[in-house]
Amino acid sequence: MFIPGLPVLLLLIWLPTSILGCLQCDQKFKENVAQLRTVVVPRQIHDTRLKERAEVLLKGLEGNFFVHYATSQFSGFAVKSKVDALIEEARSRTATLLRTPAEDLALLDKLVTFRRKTTMKLKQALKEHQVKACDKEGCGWLKYKVINCKSCQETLPSCLTLSQCFVDSQERLSLRYGKPLKDPNIARTGVAIVLCMGGVLFLVTISVIVVYWRNRLFEFV
């Protein structure tokens, strides 16, 4: 007996887990990261400070780290085919990390390396679309699929606004997933030191001159 819709239902059952949106939208990736945070890290990192750093890193990957990067550094729209491939790779790499025997600093280094490489590959997908969508002469002819990393929705490519095209000029996101550390202003510090030393030298010179002429005056008294 033929049941209407049965072939479609069977097809859906046998298809692999669908890929939705950017990394933070993919449930399998988030499950792997959650297991790393709740199982692997407590079991294999014994140093308290290293454990805290690993947990913060993984909480960021579970949360809004990637969407924050996509929207603060770029327009938030990426080439879907590249993001899909990245999600498959991220699933595989996190599954491998779940089986790693590495401990303490070695494990933390693996997590940091994974986040850095994954972020750089996401950057490629974001940048490729941004360059094409900011080209006013060719952006109206784009044919590939685009993913909105903020809403996790697939959309058609379109020209970006001027503000979206220059979003990359904003302050860079720290890959340590915390408040960005401000680099010391070496030039300003150097000028301040030179001025202070010059002031001290000037005062010393004046003092020497005053003492010299005072002694000379005493010779004639």
CA 157 and chain centroid, separation: 24
pLDDT class for 1, splitting at 50, 70, 90? very low
pLDDT digits (tens, 9 = 90+) for 13-64: 333 444 456 888 899 999 999 999 999 999 999 999 999 999 999 999 999 9
What pTM was estimated for this model as a whole? Answer: 0.67
SS3 146: strand
How many domains, the chain? Answer: 1
Nearest 5°: the CA angle 40, 46, 50 is 85
pLDDT digits (tens, 9 = 90+) for 141-193: 888 899 998 888 888 888 888 888 876 544 444 444 444 444 445 556 666 77
Residue 16: both structure tokens together: 């692999």
Q: What is the pLDDT of residue 43?
A: 96
Tell me, yes or no, whether 176 lies in a domain: no
Tell me, yes or no, whether 199 lies in a domain: no
Tell me, yes or no, whether 216 lies in a domain: no
Tell me, yes or no, whether 130 lies in a domain: yes
Domain around 52: 19-161
Tell me, yes or no, whether 59 lies in a domain: yes
Q: What percent of the chain has pLDDT over 70?
A: 76
Tell me, yes or no, whether 53 lies in a domain: yes
Tell me, yes or no, whether 12 lies in a domain: no
Residue with tokens 């693996």: 110
